Structure 1
Amino acid sequence: MLEVKELHAYYGKSHILQGVDMQVGSGEVVSLLGRNGVGRSTTVKAIMGEVMPHGSIRFKGREIAGLPSYRIARLGLGYVPENRDIFPTLTVRENLLMGVKDAHKSGRWNIADMLDLFPNLKSRADTAAGVLSGGEKQMLTICRTLMGDPELVMIDEPTEGLAPLVVQQVGDLIAAIAKRGLAILLVEQKLSIALRISNRLYVMGHGRMMFEGTPADLKANAAIRKDWLEV
């Protein structure tokens, strides 16, 4: 579904991505792991058109490198950025409605689905989103993206800064989404979540892929974990 080949990206003169290759298949959960600053967030931003990409990015067989973000989104690629942007003065329900791309077309997700997936949002559906906790805002941004009916969603650092119990809830939500057959590219630092819900994993270092394999493969590879993941 998503195929990236020889992807390069720059911030000014800094060469951040140095020939990234990766794939995400239909219905597959793929995690992108690595320490801070290795290029994981830049990878998803380049795929989404927020950073100028150099290389090939194919989504559902179509070359999308260089397209504006809104056109990429309309092709069925969803993106949940790490900054948890919500509309603070709108209610939870209104925020979810803002994610709908076509009001005349029924997608695979609706508001009732979203509120059932996360009961905390259901109890606060008519509350202004600005008063939600950090974990609730993260859930809301994920659910709002799903309201646009993407076929693949990229989720960037969803558990960053959250309490352990909320981290578990976010992991459960992503696992529940995956069971619906949605393809997911997850940028994550917490190895426990990635190992639990992923079909495959990539490990990045210095703007390149250093490892690709299954959770079992990564568990068995102590050298990769030590060199590229452990602090």
Structure 2
Amino acid sequence: MTEPMLKVRDLHAYYGKSHVLQGVNLEIMPGEVIALLGRNGVGRSTTAKAIMGEVRPRGEIHFKGQPIAGLESHRIARMGLGYVPESRDIFPMMSVRNNLILGIKDMRRHGKYTVDQMLDMFPNLRARADNLAGVLSGGEKQMLTMCRTLMGDPDLIIIDEPTEGLAPKIVQQIGDMIAEIAKTGVSILLVEQKLSIALRIANRVYVMGHGEIVWGGTPADFRDREDVRKEWLEV
């Protein structure tokens, strides 16, 4: 039986005295795309940060069978777990091309992607490859952040709110980009508000509420559960 790529059990996390995550349980299998849904403030981004070591976790986190709870973020990344934060962090005074090169973890070996392959895959970035990254639009910065993470050759990538604040046309492009990433066999944990994107891409869906997983199933199951949508997602 295939082991999960990522396995989280009874995950808790705090901001000061605020108990944000209250026993999160989830699994991601190799090559699987999981959408993590829920209202703002329920702990979805904190879950991503706790897995990546940016928030101190309490509980069990196993990645490719190895315990990673409490490890430093750079050690977790080197094990093959990529992270695209909501903040779209780029190096604005460096070129798009050099931002991509910075994502390479080991210059001595080739990963799944080269810089030219990334630029060929996403013509928006190809046209601006030698421009300063700081002049990119919000959508282009999101593309660049995801591409730079892929240059690190991850086995699993966590993408936090990639379409937040973007125009509908760019939202569609970002969704298409994530779908292309999924085709390469990289596992994905997608934290996303827009159901149209999440349900189009995901193999399975988890819904969060009050710091824990309150429902899980396939996109088809989710579409049939109006009660889940009303209680945990609709405003």
TM-score range, shorter chain: over 0.9
Pair 1:218 & 2:222 matched? yes
Q: Among the aligned pairs, what percent are the same residue?
A: 69
Q: Deviations over 1:193-219 (max 9, x none)?
A: 010000001000000101100000000
Aligned counterparts of 2:117 and 2:206: Cα–Cα separation in 1: 30
In the other structure, the counterpart of 1:64 is 68
Please list the CA deviations of residues 1-25 of structure 1 after superposition, one character each: whole Å capped at 9, or x if unmatched. Answer: 1000000000000000000000011
1:25-80 CA deviation, whole Å, 9 max, x = no partner?
10000010000000000001000000000000000000000000010000000000
Q: Output the TM-score relative to the length of structure 2.
A: 0.98
Q: C-alpha separation between the residues in 2 aligned to 1:17 and 1:10?
A: 7
CA distance in 2, matches of 1:183, 1:112: 22
Write the distance in 2 (CA, Å) between the matches of 1:229 and 1:196.
Answer: 17
Amino acid at match of 2:109: K
Q: Offset at 1:117?
A: 1.9
Partner of 1:113: 117
CA RMSD of aligned residues (A): 0.5
Structure 2 residue matching 1:102: 3-state secondary structure: coil
User: Post-superposition, which runs of at least 4 consecutive aligned residues in structure 1 deviate over 2 A?
Assistant: none
From 122, 125, 130, the counterpart of 2:126: 122
Query: Is 1:41 paired with 2:67?
Result: no
Q: What stretches of structure 1 of length at least 5 have no aligned partner?
A: none
Look up the equivalent residue of 2:31 and give its one-letter code.
Answer: G
Q: Displacement, 1:109?
A: 1.0
Instruction: Give yes or no for the alignment of 1:154 onto 2:158.
Output: yes
| Structure 2: distance between partners of 1:142 and 1:204 | 24
Counterpart among 48, 52, 57 of residue 56 in structure 2: 52
Residue type of the alignment partner of 2:126: K
Q: TM-score, normalised by structure 1?
A: 0.99
Superposed displacement of residue 113, structure 1: 1.7
CA distance in 1, matches of 2:42, 2:117: 36
- The residue correspondences of 1:187-202 to structure 2 (distance < 5 A) are 187-202=191-206
- Unpaired runs of 5+ in structure 2? none
Task: Give the secondary structure class of the aligned counterpart of 1:148.
Answer: coil
Aligned residues: 231
Residues 168-223 of structure 1: per-residue CA shift (max 9 Å, x gap): 00000000000000000000000010100000010000001011000000000000
